[in-house]
Amino acid sequence: MSEIKGKSVFMILYNYSDYDYSIIKIMSSLEDAFNHICILESDLLYECKMIEVSVPSDINKKIDLNDTINVCFISSGKYHKFCVCEDRPNGILSNYVIIPMIIE
């Protein structure tokens, strides 16, 4: 057990309502977590893009409007302040988010 203590992992969460989230999966790398979400969101019409955000106002500044599914990597880890499931007329935002976590 001591070999995983202090290790960084990445949680995939699903925002299903307001500020409510469910844990979907824990991955060992950010790239693996992002790729997993892209598979879950697979759509032949849209490309996946990760946007790194630390506060909710970052989303509207960084969202890609060009037929892209935007996946938020919430680098601050404070996902409870984000509501990504609301309708956004200015881009497609995935309900899945990635947050970093250190195993204590």
Half-sphere exposure (CA, 13 Å, Cβ side) for 74? 24
The pTM for the full model equals: 0.86
- For residue 3, tell me if it sits in a domain: no
pLDDT value of position 42:
80
- For residue 35, tell me if it sits in a domain: yes
Task: List per-residue pLDDT tens for the chain, 104 residues long.
Answer: 567 678 899 999 998 887 888 999 999 999 999 999 999 988 767 889 999 999 888 888 888 888 888 999 999 888 777 777 666 555 688 889 999 998 88
* Count of domains forming the chain: 1
Q: Which distant-in-sequence residues (6+ apart) come within 8 Å of 91 by Cβ? A: 63, 64, 65, 68, 70
Pairwise CA distance, residues 76 & 64, whole Å = 21
Which residue shows structure tokens 């977590």?
A: 33
Pairwise CA distance, residues 93 & 8, whole Å = 25
- For residue 2, tell me if it sits in a domain: no
- For residue 1, tell me if it sits in a domain: no
- For residue 47, tell me if it sits in a domain: yes
The token duo for 64 is: 């890609």
Whether 96 and 13 have beta carbons less than 8 Å apart is answered as yes
Print the domain residue range for 35. Answer: 8-102
Pairwise CA distance, residues 57 & 54, whole Å = 9
